[in-house]
A and B are shown apart, each in its own frame.
Chain A
Protein backbone atom coordinates (compact mmCIF):
# COMPACT_ATOMS: atom_id res chain seq x y z
CA UNK A 1 0.00 0.00 0.00
CA UNK A 2 1.38 3.42 -0.97
CA UNK A 3 1.54 6.18 1.61
CA UNK A 4 0.52 9.60 0.33
CA UNK A 5 0.64 12.94 2.14
CA UNK A 6 -1.89 15.53 1.00
CA UNK A 7 -1.07 19.12 2.00
CA UNK A 8 -4.14 21.22 1.29
CA UNK A 9 -5.88 24.04 3.15
CA UNK A 10 -9.15 23.71 1.24
CA UNK A 11 -11.57 21.58 3.25
CA UNK A 12 -13.25 19.99 0.23
CA UNK A 13 -10.20 18.84 -1.72
CA UNK A 14 -9.17 16.12 0.81
CA UNK A 15 -12.68 14.66 0.59
CA UNK A 16 -12.43 14.56 -3.19
CA UNK A 17 -8.90 13.09 -3.21
CA UNK A 18 -9.95 10.47 -0.68
CA UNK A 19 -12.64 9.37 -3.14
CA UNK A 20 -10.33 9.39 -6.13
CA UNK A 21 -7.59 7.30 -4.49
CA UNK A 22 -9.13 4.02 -3.31
CA UNK A 23 -8.30 3.31 0.38
CA UNK A 24 -7.56 -0.30 -0.49
CA UNK A 25 -4.52 0.85 -2.49
CA UNK A 26 -3.52 4.16 -0.92
CA UNK A 27 -3.07 5.32 2.65
CA UNK A 28 -3.84 9.01 2.59
CA UNK A 29 -2.74 11.43 5.33
CA UNK A 30 -4.00 14.99 5.24
CA UNK A 31 -2.53 18.13 6.77
CA UNK A 32 -3.89 21.60 6.16
CA UNK A 33 -0.75 23.79 6.00
CA UNK A 34 2.98 23.76 5.42
CA UNK A 35 3.88 23.84 9.09
CA UNK A 36 1.82 20.74 9.82
CA UNK A 37 3.35 19.09 6.76
CA UNK A 38 6.87 19.62 8.14
CA UNK A 39 5.81 18.26 11.52
CA UNK A 40 4.22 15.21 9.91
CA UNK A 41 7.24 14.57 7.69
CA UNK A 42 9.66 14.87 10.62
CA UNK A 43 7.51 12.64 12.81
CA UNK A 44 7.35 9.92 10.14
CA UNK A 45 10.97 10.38 9.08
CA UNK A 46 9.81 11.33 5.59
CA UNK A 47 8.23 7.92 5.17
CA UNK A 48 5.91 8.77 2.27
CA UNK A 49 5.77 7.47 -1.27
CA UNK A 50 4.23 10.63 -2.69
CA UNK A 51 3.29 14.15 -1.66
CA UNK A 52 0.40 16.07 -3.20
CA UNK A 53 0.56 19.72 -2.25
CA UNK A 54 -1.15 23.03 -2.90
CA UNK A 55 1.00 26.15 -3.33
CA UNK A 56 -0.69 28.93 -1.44
CA UNK A 57 -1.17 27.91 2.17
CA UNK A 58 -0.70 29.47 5.60
CA UNK A 59 2.58 29.27 7.57
CA UNK A 60 4.66 27.62 4.83
CA UNK A 61 3.73 27.38 1.17
CA UNK A 62 4.10 24.54 -1.31
CA UNK A 63 7.43 25.85 -2.59
CA UNK A 64 8.93 25.68 0.89
CA UNK A 65 7.74 22.10 1.22
CA UNK A 66 9.26 21.31 -2.18
CA UNK A 67 12.63 22.85 -1.29
CA UNK A 68 12.80 20.84 1.90
CA UNK A 69 11.63 17.54 0.41
CA UNK A 70 13.83 17.89 -2.66
CA UNK A 71 16.87 19.05 -0.70
CA UNK A 72 20.08 17.37 -1.98
CA UNK A 73 20.93 16.35 1.61
CA UNK A 74 17.99 14.00 1.69
CA UNK A 75 18.72 10.33 0.99
CA UNK A 76 15.27 9.38 -0.24
CA UNK A 77 13.51 11.58 -2.78
CA UNK A 78 9.76 11.69 -2.54
CA UNK A 79 7.88 12.54 -5.74
CA UNK A 80 5.76 15.68 -5.43
CA UNK A 81 2.66 16.66 -7.38
CA UNK A 82 1.54 20.27 -7.14
CA UNK A 83 -2.22 20.76 -7.33
CA UNK A 84 -3.07 24.43 -7.36
CA UNK A 85 -5.42 26.98 -8.84
CA UNK A 86 -2.54 29.45 -9.10
CA UNK A 87 -1.63 28.36 -12.57
CA UNK A 88 0.40 31.21 -14.00
CA UNK A 89 3.53 30.32 -15.93
CA UNK A 90 5.95 31.76 -13.37
CA UNK A 91 4.53 29.64 -10.59
CA UNK A 92 4.58 26.47 -12.67
CA UNK A 93 8.18 27.14 -13.69
CA UNK A 94 9.17 27.90 -10.10
CA UNK A 95 7.60 24.61 -9.01
CA UNK A 96 9.48 22.60 -11.63
CA UNK A 97 12.72 24.45 -10.85
CA UNK A 98 12.39 23.38 -7.23
CA UNK A 99 11.96 19.77 -8.32
CA UNK A 100 8.20 19.18 -8.62
CA UNK A 101 7.48 16.00 -10.55
CA UNK A 102 4.11 17.07 -11.85
CA UNK A 103 1.68 19.98 -11.86
CA UNK A 104 -2.11 19.86 -11.96
CA UNK A 105 -4.26 22.95 -12.20
CA UNK A 106 -7.52 23.13 -10.28
CA UNK A 107 -10.22 22.21 -11.09
CA UNK A 108 -8.72 18.78 -11.57
CA UNK A 109 -9.99 15.87 -13.62
CA UNK A 110 -10.19 13.00 -11.09
CA UNK A 111 -9.12 10.30 -13.54
CA UNK A 112 -6.11 12.39 -14.52
CA UNK A 113 -4.97 12.72 -10.91
CA UNK A 114 -5.30 8.97 -10.40
CA UNK A 115 -3.24 8.21 -13.52
CA UNK A 116 -0.53 10.69 -12.58
CA UNK A 117 -0.30 9.34 -9.05
CA UNK A 118 -0.01 5.76 -10.36
CA UNK A 119 2.60 6.76 -12.95
CA UNK A 120 4.80 8.56 -10.41
CA UNK A 121 4.57 5.74 -7.89
CA UNK A 122 5.49 3.19 -10.57
CA UNK A 123 8.41 5.33 -11.73
CA UNK A 124 9.74 5.68 -8.21
CA UNK A 125 9.57 2.00 -7.32
Chain B
Protein backbone atom coordinates (compact mmCIF):
# COMPACT_ATOMS: atom_id res chain seq x y z
CA UNK B 1 0.00 0.00 0.00
CA UNK B 2 1.30 3.41 -0.93
CA UNK B 3 2.09 5.45 2.15
CA UNK B 4 1.44 9.15 1.42
CA UNK B 5 2.74 11.77 3.85
CA UNK B 6 -0.22 13.99 4.82
CA UNK B 7 0.37 17.38 6.48
CA UNK B 8 -0.82 17.54 10.10
CA UNK B 9 -3.60 20.05 9.45
CA UNK B 10 -5.16 17.73 6.85
CA UNK B 11 -4.98 14.70 9.15
CA UNK B 12 -8.59 15.05 10.50
CA UNK B 13 -9.97 15.44 6.97
CA UNK B 14 -8.10 12.40 5.69
CA UNK B 15 -9.20 10.35 8.71
CA UNK B 16 -12.81 11.38 8.23
CA UNK B 17 -12.58 10.31 4.58
CA UNK B 18 -10.75 7.06 5.38
CA UNK B 19 -13.25 5.85 7.97
CA UNK B 20 -16.40 7.10 6.21
CA UNK B 21 -18.77 4.59 4.55
CA UNK B 22 -18.13 3.88 0.86
CA UNK B 23 -21.17 5.87 -0.34
CA UNK B 24 -19.92 8.94 1.53
CA UNK B 25 -16.42 8.46 0.14
CA UNK B 26 -17.77 8.30 -3.43
CA UNK B 27 -19.93 11.38 -2.78
CA UNK B 28 -16.92 13.28 -1.39
CA UNK B 29 -14.84 12.41 -4.44
CA UNK B 30 -17.63 13.66 -6.71
CA UNK B 31 -17.98 16.89 -4.71
CA UNK B 32 -14.24 17.53 -4.93
CA UNK B 33 -14.18 16.85 -8.69
CA UNK B 34 -17.26 19.05 -9.27
CA UNK B 35 -15.82 21.90 -7.16
CA UNK B 36 -12.47 21.72 -8.98
CA UNK B 37 -14.26 21.60 -12.35
CA UNK B 38 -16.34 24.66 -11.46
CA UNK B 39 -13.28 26.58 -10.32
CA UNK B 40 -11.44 25.62 -13.50
CA UNK B 41 -14.40 26.72 -15.65
CA UNK B 42 -14.60 30.06 -13.82
CA UNK B 43 -10.86 30.52 -14.22
CA UNK B 44 -10.95 29.83 -17.96
CA UNK B 45 -13.97 32.14 -18.45
CA UNK B 46 -12.24 34.92 -16.54
CA UNK B 47 -9.00 34.34 -18.43
CA UNK B 48 -10.69 34.47 -21.85
CA UNK B 49 -12.67 37.57 -20.81
CA UNK B 50 -9.50 39.25 -19.64
CA UNK B 51 -7.78 38.37 -22.91
CA UNK B 52 -10.79 39.72 -24.83
CA UNK B 53 -10.66 42.90 -22.78
CA UNK B 54 -6.93 43.28 -23.47
CA UNK B 55 -7.50 42.66 -27.18
CA UNK B 56 -10.36 45.19 -27.32
CA UNK B 57 -8.13 47.73 -25.58
CA UNK B 58 -5.36 47.16 -28.10
CA UNK B 59 -7.83 47.35 -31.00
CA UNK B 60 -9.43 50.53 -29.66
CA UNK B 61 -5.98 52.06 -29.71
CA UNK B 62 -4.89 50.63 -33.06
CA UNK B 63 -8.04 50.82 -35.23
CA UNK B 64 -8.35 54.62 -35.39
CA UNK B 65 -4.61 54.90 -36.05
CA UNK B 66 -4.75 52.38 -38.89
CA UNK B 67 -7.92 53.93 -40.35
CA UNK B 68 -6.37 57.41 -40.34
CA UNK B 69 -3.18 56.15 -41.94
CA UNK B 70 -5.09 54.30 -44.65
CA UNK B 71 -7.27 57.33 -45.32
CA UNK B 72 -4.29 59.72 -45.41
CA UNK B 73 -1.88 57.57 -47.35
CA UNK B 74 -4.17 55.55 -49.59
CA UNK B 75 -7.67 56.98 -49.98
CA UNK B 76 -6.49 60.57 -50.39
CA UNK B 77 -3.32 59.67 -52.26
CA UNK B 78 -2.74 62.39 -54.89
CA UNK B 79 -1.72 59.80 -57.52
CA UNK B 80 -5.35 58.60 -57.59
CA UNK B 81 -6.22 61.82 -59.38
CA UNK B 82 -3.54 61.37 -62.04
CA UNK B 83 -4.65 59.33 -65.01
CA UNK B 84 -1.19 58.76 -66.44
CA UNK B 85 0.24 56.77 -63.49
CA UNK B 86 -0.81 53.10 -63.35
CA UNK B 87 -1.97 52.33 -59.81
CA UNK B 88 0.04 49.11 -59.70
CA UNK B 89 3.29 51.13 -59.94
CA UNK B 90 2.51 53.67 -57.25
CA UNK B 91 5.06 53.56 -54.43
CA UNK B 92 3.25 54.42 -51.22
CA UNK B 93 4.79 56.35 -48.38
CA UNK B 94 5.24 53.60 -45.81
CA UNK B 95 7.06 55.68 -43.21
CA UNK B 96 3.93 56.68 -41.25
CA UNK B 97 3.02 52.98 -40.97
CA UNK B 98 6.23 52.39 -39.04
CA UNK B 99 4.56 54.16 -36.10
CA UNK B 100 2.45 51.04 -35.72
CA UNK B 101 3.94 48.14 -33.76
CA UNK B 102 4.28 46.11 -36.95
CA UNK B 103 7.11 44.02 -35.48
CA UNK B 104 4.33 42.29 -33.53
CA UNK B 105 2.35 39.62 -35.29
CA UNK B 106 -1.02 40.61 -33.81
CA UNK B 107 -0.58 44.20 -35.07
CA UNK B 108 0.18 42.97 -38.58
CA UNK B 109 -2.92 40.77 -38.41
CA UNK B 110 -5.08 43.71 -37.35
CA UNK B 111 -3.66 45.81 -40.19
CA UNK B 112 -4.39 43.06 -42.75
CA UNK B 113 -7.91 42.67 -41.38
CA UNK B 114 -8.47 46.43 -41.65
CA UNK B 115 -7.15 46.65 -45.22
CA UNK B 116 -9.52 43.81 -46.15
CA UNK B 117 -12.40 45.67 -44.48
CA UNK B 118 -11.60 48.77 -46.54
CA UNK B 119 -11.37 46.69 -49.73
CA UNK B 120 -14.83 45.27 -49.05
CA UNK B 121 -16.14 48.82 -49.21
CA UNK B 122 -14.16 50.33 -52.10
CA UNK B 123 -12.86 49.02 -55.39
CA UNK B 124 -11.40 50.59 -58.51
CA UNK B 125 -8.14 52.51 -58.10
CA UNK B 126 -8.58 52.85 -54.34
CA UNK B 127 -9.03 49.11 -54.03
CA UNK B 128 -5.90 48.53 -56.10
CA UNK B 129 -3.94 50.95 -53.95
CA UNK B 130 -5.06 49.08 -50.83
CA UNK B 131 -3.70 45.91 -52.42
CA UNK B 132 -0.43 47.73 -53.10
CA UNK B 133 -0.24 48.69 -49.46
CA UNK B 134 -0.74 45.05 -48.41
CA UNK B 135 2.07 43.97 -50.74
CA UNK B 136 4.47 46.80 -49.96
CA UNK B 137 4.14 46.18 -46.22
CA UNK B 138 4.90 42.52 -47.01
CA UNK B 139 1.79 41.34 -45.22
CA UNK B 140 1.44 38.65 -47.89
CA UNK B 141 4.37 36.84 -46.26
CA UNK B 142 2.33 36.43 -43.06
CA UNK B 143 -0.57 35.11 -45.13
CA UNK B 144 1.74 32.63 -46.84
CA UNK B 145 2.95 31.45 -43.42
CA UNK B 146 -0.66 30.88 -42.37
CA UNK B 147 -1.19 28.96 -45.60
CA UNK B 148 1.65 26.60 -44.66
CA UNK B 149 0.34 26.14 -41.11
CA UNK B 150 -0.91 22.75 -40.01
CA UNK B 151 -4.07 24.24 -38.47
CA UNK B 152 -7.05 24.31 -40.80
CA UNK B 153 -8.38 27.54 -39.25
CA UNK B 154 -5.17 29.34 -40.22
CA UNK B 155 -5.38 27.96 -43.74
CA UNK B 156 -8.98 29.17 -44.07
CA UNK B 157 -7.91 32.59 -42.80
CA UNK B 158 -5.06 32.68 -45.36
CA UNK B 159 -7.42 31.69 -48.18
CA UNK B 160 -9.84 34.46 -47.21
CA UNK B 161 -6.97 36.98 -47.13
CA UNK B 162 -5.62 35.88 -50.51
CA UNK B 163 -9.11 35.98 -52.04
CA UNK B 164 -9.87 39.42 -50.62
CA UNK B 165 -6.54 40.71 -51.89
CA UNK B 166 -6.97 39.07 -55.28
CA UNK B 167 -3.62 37.26 -54.98
CA UNK B 168 -2.96 34.26 -57.14
CA UNK B 169 -2.05 30.96 -55.47
CA UNK B 170 -0.21 28.10 -57.13
CA UNK B 171 -2.43 25.19 -58.16
CA UNK B 172 -0.19 22.74 -56.28
CA UNK B 173 -0.94 24.59 -53.05
CA UNK B 174 -4.65 25.07 -53.42
CA UNK B 175 -5.94 22.14 -55.49
CA UNK B 176 -5.31 19.49 -52.79
CA UNK B 177 -7.25 21.66 -50.33
CA UNK B 178 -10.34 21.59 -52.58
CA UNK B 179 -10.49 17.90 -51.69
CA UNK B 180 -9.84 18.33 -47.97
CA UNK B 181 -11.79 16.24 -45.50
CA UNK B 182 -12.47 19.34 -43.44
CA UNK B 183 -15.71 20.90 -44.67
CA UNK B 184 -14.79 24.53 -43.89
CA UNK B 185 -11.38 24.27 -45.49
CA UNK B 186 -12.76 22.50 -48.53
CA UNK B 187 -15.41 25.22 -49.06
CA UNK B 188 -12.88 28.04 -48.58
CA UNK B 189 -10.42 26.42 -50.99
CA UNK B 190 -13.06 25.91 -53.68
CA UNK B 191 -14.26 29.46 -53.21
CA UNK B 192 -10.71 30.77 -53.48
CA UNK B 193 -9.94 28.60 -56.50
CA UNK B 194 -13.00 29.78 -58.42
CA UNK B 195 -12.23 33.41 -57.61
CA UNK B 196 -8.49 33.36 -58.15
CA UNK B 197 -7.85 30.91 -60.95
CA UNK B 198 -7.62 33.05 -64.05
CA UNK B 199 -7.63 30.28 -66.66
CA UNK B 200 -9.63 27.36 -65.38
CA UNK B 201 -11.68 28.20 -62.29
CA UNK B 202 -13.46 24.85 -62.43
CA UNK B 203 -10.39 22.68 -62.73
CA UNK B 204 -11.03 21.22 -59.29
CA UNK B 205 -14.01 19.34 -60.74
CA UNK B 206 -11.37 17.16 -62.40
CA UNK B 207 -9.70 16.25 -59.12
CA UNK B 208 -12.73 15.80 -56.85
CA UNK B 209 -12.52 12.27 -55.57
CA UNK B 210 -15.19 12.30 -52.87
CA UNK B 211 -18.88 12.86 -53.73
CA UNK B 212 -20.02 16.49 -53.56
CA UNK B 213 -22.45 16.49 -50.67
CA UNK B 214 -25.76 18.31 -51.03
CA UNK B 215 -24.51 21.08 -48.76
CA UNK B 216 -21.28 21.37 -50.79
CA UNK B 217 -23.39 21.71 -53.91
CA UNK B 218 -25.52 24.47 -52.37
CA UNK B 219 -22.38 26.34 -51.26
CA UNK B 220 -20.65 25.88 -54.62
CA UNK B 221 -23.76 26.96 -56.50
CA UNK B 222 -23.89 30.13 -54.43
CA UNK B 223 -20.19 30.84 -54.98
CA UNK B 224 -20.30 30.18 -58.72
CA UNK B 225 -23.46 32.15 -59.39
CA UNK B 226 -22.51 35.15 -57.27
CA UNK B 227 -18.82 35.51 -58.12
CA UNK B 228 -18.31 38.23 -60.68
CA UNK B 229 -15.93 38.10 -63.63
CA UNK B 230 -15.45 34.35 -63.85
CA UNK B 231 -15.38 32.55 -67.15
CA UNK B 232 -18.26 30.07 -67.20
CA UNK B 233 -17.19 26.98 -69.16
CA UNK B 234 -19.38 24.56 -71.07
CA UNK B 235 -20.32 22.09 -68.35
CA UNK B 236 -20.90 19.38 -70.97
CA UNK B 237 -17.21 18.59 -70.52
CA UNK B 238 -17.78 17.11 -67.04
CA UNK B 239 -21.17 15.65 -67.95
CA UNK B 240 -19.37 13.61 -70.61
CA UNK B 241 -16.11 12.72 -68.91
CA UNK B 242 -16.37 12.97 -65.13
CA UNK B 243 -16.36 9.68 -63.28
CA UNK B 244 -17.76 11.40 -60.20
CA UNK B 245 -21.55 11.12 -60.37
CA UNK B 246 -22.13 13.99 -57.95
CA UNK B 247 -20.05 16.29 -60.18
CA UNK B 248 -22.14 15.28 -63.20
CA UNK B 249 -25.37 15.86 -61.27
CA UNK B 250 -24.10 19.26 -60.08
CA UNK B 251 -23.06 20.23 -63.61
CA UNK B 252 -26.59 19.43 -64.82
CA UNK B 253 -27.91 22.00 -62.34
CA UNK B 254 -25.39 24.55 -63.59
CA UNK B 255 -26.34 23.83 -67.19
CA UNK B 256 -29.96 24.67 -66.30
CA UNK B 257 -28.94 27.82 -64.43
CA UNK B 258 -26.83 29.12 -67.33
CA UNK B 259 -29.26 27.79 -69.94
CA UNK B 260 -26.39 26.08 -71.78
CA UNK B 261 -28.12 24.64 -74.82
CA UNK B 262 -24.82 23.47 -76.40
CA UNK B 263 -24.65 20.91 -73.58
CA UNK B 264 -27.87 19.20 -74.74
CA UNK B 265 -26.18 16.42 -76.83
CA UNK B 266 -24.09 15.44 -73.78
CA UNK B 267 -27.23 15.33 -71.61
CA UNK B 268 -29.14 13.25 -74.17
CA UNK B 269 -26.19 10.84 -74.19
CA UNK B 270 -26.42 10.68 -70.40
CA UNK B 271 -29.93 9.21 -70.72
CA UNK B 272 -28.19 5.91 -71.49
CA UNK B 273 -26.42 5.78 -68.11
CA UNK B 274 -27.10 2.79 -65.91
CA UNK B 275 -27.42 4.97 -62.80
CA UNK B 276 -31.12 5.79 -62.68
CA UNK B 277 -30.69 8.68 -60.25
CA UNK B 278 -28.35 10.37 -62.70
CA UNK B 279 -30.75 9.54 -65.53
CA UNK B 280 -33.57 11.20 -63.59
CA UNK B 281 -31.37 14.31 -63.16
CA UNK B 282 -30.65 14.34 -66.91
CA UNK B 283 -34.38 14.07 -67.73
CA UNK B 284 -35.11 16.87 -65.26
CA UNK B 285 -32.43 19.02 -66.90
CA UNK B 286 -33.81 18.42 -70.43
CA UNK B 287 -37.28 19.39 -69.21
CA UNK B 288 -36.04 22.59 -67.59
CA UNK B 289 -34.06 23.48 -70.70
CA UNK B 290 -37.28 22.89 -72.70
CA UNK B 291 -35.65 20.79 -75.40
CA UNK B 292 -38.48 19.66 -77.73
CA UNK B 293 -36.15 17.34 -79.68
CA UNK B 294 -35.63 15.21 -76.58
CA UNK B 295 -39.34 14.65 -76.00
CA UNK B 296 -39.74 11.70 -78.41
CA UNK B 297 -36.77 9.89 -76.90
CA UNK B 298 -38.22 10.37 -73.41
CA UNK B 299 -41.59 8.97 -74.46
CA UNK B 300 -39.95 5.94 -76.08
CA UNK B 301 -37.92 5.10 -72.98
CA UNK B 302 -40.81 5.83 -70.54
CA UNK B 303 -42.17 2.30 -70.14
CA UNK B 304 -38.80 0.77 -69.22
CA UNK B 305 -37.95 3.33 -66.51
CA UNK B 306 -38.20 3.13 -62.71
CA UNK B 307 -40.90 5.21 -61.05
CA UNK B 308 -38.86 8.35 -60.27
CA UNK B 309 -37.57 8.50 -63.88
CA UNK B 310 -41.13 8.14 -65.14
CA UNK B 311 -42.24 11.01 -62.92
CA UNK B 312 -39.38 13.15 -64.26
CA UNK B 313 -40.39 12.28 -67.85
CA UNK B 314 -43.97 13.36 -67.19
CA UNK B 315 -42.72 16.60 -65.62
CA UNK B 316 -40.36 17.19 -68.56
CA UNK B 317 -43.19 16.71 -71.09
CA UNK B 318 -45.19 19.29 -69.12
CA UNK B 319 -42.29 21.75 -69.03
CA UNK B 320 -41.45 21.37 -72.73
CA UNK B 321 -45.15 21.76 -73.47
CA UNK B 322 -44.86 21.11 -77.20
CA UNK B 323 -48.43 19.79 -77.33
CA UNK B 324 -47.34 16.72 -79.31
CA UNK B 325 -47.87 14.18 -76.53
CA UNK B 326 -51.26 15.08 -75.10
CA UNK B 327 -52.62 11.60 -75.86
CA UNK B 328 -49.74 9.98 -73.98
CA UNK B 329 -50.40 12.19 -70.96
CA UNK B 330 -54.14 11.44 -71.14
CA UNK B 331 -53.46 7.69 -71.24
CA UNK B 332 -51.14 7.91 -68.23
CA UNK B 333 -53.65 10.00 -66.31
CA UNK B 334 -56.51 7.60 -66.97
CA UNK B 335 -54.81 4.22 -66.83
CA UNK B 336 -51.72 4.47 -64.62
CA UNK B 337 -51.90 2.50 -61.38
CA UNK B 338 -49.62 4.85 -59.45
CA UNK B 339 -51.12 7.96 -57.89
CA UNK B 340 -47.97 10.12 -58.38
CA UNK B 341 -47.86 9.25 -62.07
CA UNK B 342 -51.51 10.21 -62.48
CA UNK B 343 -51.00 13.47 -60.63
CA UNK B 344 -47.92 14.43 -62.67
CA UNK B 345 -49.63 13.44 -65.93
CA UNK B 346 -52.56 15.71 -64.98
CA UNK B 347 -50.19 18.58 -64.14
CA UNK B 348 -48.43 18.19 -67.46
CA UNK B 349 -51.76 18.08 -69.27
CA UNK B 350 -52.68 21.37 -67.63
CA UNK B 351 -49.31 22.82 -68.70
CA UNK B 352 -50.14 21.75 -72.27
CA UNK B 353 -53.51 23.47 -71.95
CA UNK B 354 -52.93 25.64 -75.04
CA UNK B 355 -53.44 22.51 -77.15
CA UNK B 356 -55.14 20.16 -74.65
CA UNK B 357 -58.06 22.39 -73.73
CA UNK B 358 -60.60 20.12 -75.37
CA UNK B 359 -59.10 17.02 -73.75
CA UNK B 360 -59.20 18.68 -70.35
CA UNK B 361 -62.83 19.70 -70.77
CA UNK B 362 -63.70 16.16 -71.81
CA UNK B 363 -61.86 14.71 -68.82
CA UNK B 364 -63.54 17.15 -66.43
CA UNK B 365 -66.93 16.10 -67.79
CA UNK B 366 -66.36 12.36 -67.63
CA UNK B 367 -63.85 11.85 -64.77
CA UNK B 368 -64.67 9.89 -61.64
CA UNK B 369 -64.56 11.63 -58.25
CA UNK B 370 -60.86 10.99 -57.59
CA UNK B 371 -59.69 12.02 -61.06
CA UNK B 372 -61.83 15.12 -60.87
CA UNK B 373 -60.19 16.08 -57.59
CA UNK B 374 -56.69 15.53 -59.07
CA UNK B 375 -57.55 17.65 -62.11
CA UNK B 376 -59.01 20.49 -60.03
CA UNK B 377 -55.96 20.39 -57.75
CA UNK B 378 -53.65 20.65 -60.77
CA UNK B 379 -55.70 23.41 -62.39
CA UNK B 380 -55.62 25.60 -59.29
CA UNK B 381 -52.94 28.21 -60.03
CA UNK B 382 -52.43 28.86 -56.31
CA UNK B 383 -51.22 25.30 -55.68
CA UNK B 384 -47.64 24.79 -56.74
CA UNK B 385 -47.08 21.12 -55.84
Q: How far is the CB of B340 from chain A (nearest CB, A)?
A: 32
- Name the A residues within 8 Å of B67 (CB-CB): 12, 15
Cα separation A123 to B282 with both chains bound (whole Å): 52
Contact B120 A16 (CB under 8 A): no
Chain A interface mostly: helix
Contact A110 B126 (CB under 8 A): yes
Q: How far is the CB of B125 from chain A (nearest CB, A)?
A: 8
B123 contacts which of A13, A19, A109 (Cβ < 8 Å)?
A109
- Name the A residues within 8 Å of B120 (CB-CB): 85, 106-107
Which B residue sits closest to A111, measured CB to CB? B124
Q: State whether the Cβ of A93 lies closer than 8 Å to any Cβ in chain B.
A: no
Q: How far is the CB of A16 from chain B (nearest CB, A)?
A: 6
Residues of A4-54 contacting chain B, CB below 8 A: 10, 12-13, 15-16, 19
- Please judge, given known A-B contacts A107-B127, A110-B126, whether A13 and B121 are in contact too, CB under 8 Å: yes
Q: State whether the Cβ of B75 lies closer than 8 Å to any Cβ in chain A.
A: yes
Contact B121 A109 (CB under 8 A): no
Chain B interface mostly: helix
Residues of A59-105 contacting chain B, CB below 8 A: 85
Contact B124 A16 (CB under 8 A): no
Q: How far is the CB of A92 from chain B (nearest CB, A)?
A: 13
Q: State whether the Cβ of B71 lies closer than 8 Å to any Cβ in chain A.
A: yes
- Name the B residues within 8 Å of A15 (CB-CB): 67, 71
Q: How many residues of A contact B (CB 8 A)?
A: 14
Contact A107 B121 (CB under 8 A): yes
Q: State whether the Cβ of B119 lies closer than 8 Å to any Cβ in chain A.
A: yes
Instruction: Render B152-189 as a binary contact track against A, CB cut-off 8 A, 1 for contact.
Output: 00000000000000000000000000000000000000
Which A residue sits closest to B118, measured CB to CB? A12
Q: How far is the CB of A17 from chain B (nearest CB, A)?
A: 9
Cα separation A12 to B121 with both chains bound (whole Å): 8
Cα separation A13 to B120 with both chains bound (whole Å): 10
Greatest chain B CB density within 10 A among A106, A107, A109 is at A107
Contact A110 B118 (CB under 8 A): no
Greatest chain B CB density within 10 A among A12, A108, A109, A112 is at A12
Contact A107 B122 (CB under 8 A): yes
Contact A110 B76 (CB under 8 A): no
A19 contacts which of B71, B124, B127 (Cβ < 8 Å)?
B71
Which A residue sits closest to B76, measured CB to CB? A19
- Name the A residues within 8 Å of B121 (CB-CB): 10, 12-13, 16, 106-108
A residues adjacent to B (C-beta < 8 A): 10, 12-13, 15-16, 19, 85, 106-112
User: Could you jot down 11 A-B contacts, CB within 8 Å?
Assistant: A10-B121, A12-B118, A16-B71, A106-B120, A107-B122, A107-B123, A109-B122, A109-B123, A109-B124, A110-B124, A111-B124
Query: Given A13-B121, A107-B119, A108-B121, list of 4 further CB < 8 A pairs?
Result: A10-B121, A106-B120, A107-B121, A107-B127
